[in-house]
């Protein structure tokens, strides 16, 4: 079983709709969770981080974390064609009090249709 799993997609949504991206992880001691956006040919860009259960909102983006279910999601409201990219989920697993293992999922490709 992969440590961080995402559906590869593509996930296609019409412009203006809500895009919902999901990620599951296997390590129960995981401490922090991240979403990155990666445009084709570019480097990953951090868009959201979440550290505790519940929702965290930043503009059109909402990250949701459920540690009991080992599940983290990203909602993009009012999706725009410029949101078309691959979205990477990353999980930080604490190895010791000072060292961490940072694992990426393989990403979900999102296509927003104009």
Partner 1 sequence: EAQVTQNPRYLITVTGKKLTVTCSQNMNHEYMSWYRQDPGLGLRQIYYSMNVEVTDKGDVPEGYKVSRKEKRNFPLILESPSPNQTSLYFCASSLSGVYGYTFGSGTRLTVV
CB-based contact 47:33 (threshold 8 Å): no
Q: With CB under 8 A, what is the number of residues at the site for partner 1?
A: 25
Regarding 34 and contact with partner 1 (CB under 8 A), the answer is yes
| Omega within 30 of 0 (cis) for the link into 10 | yes
Handedness of CA 75, 81, 83, 86 (dihedral sign): positive
Regarding 32 and contact with partner 1 (CB under 8 A), the answer is yes
Binds partner 1 (CB under 8 A): choice among 12, 14, 15, 51? 51
The site for partner 1 (CB under 8 A) is made up of 31-32, 34, 36, 42-46, 49, 51, 88, 90, 92, 94, 98-107
């Amino acid at each position: 079983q992969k440590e961080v799993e995402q559906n590869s997609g593509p996930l296609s949504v019409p412009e203006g709709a809500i895009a919902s991206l999901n990620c599951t992880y296997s390590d129960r001691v995981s401490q922090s969770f991240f979403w990155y956006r990666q445009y084709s040919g570019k480097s990953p860009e951090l868009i959201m981080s979440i550290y505790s259960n519940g929702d965290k909102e930043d503009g059109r983006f909402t990250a949701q974390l459920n540690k009991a279910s080992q599940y983290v999601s990203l909602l993009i409201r009012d999706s725009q064609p410029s949101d078309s990219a691959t979205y990477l989920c990353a999980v930080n697993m604490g190895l010791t009090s000072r060292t961490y293992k940072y694992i990426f999922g393989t990403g979900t490709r999102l296509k927003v249709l104009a």
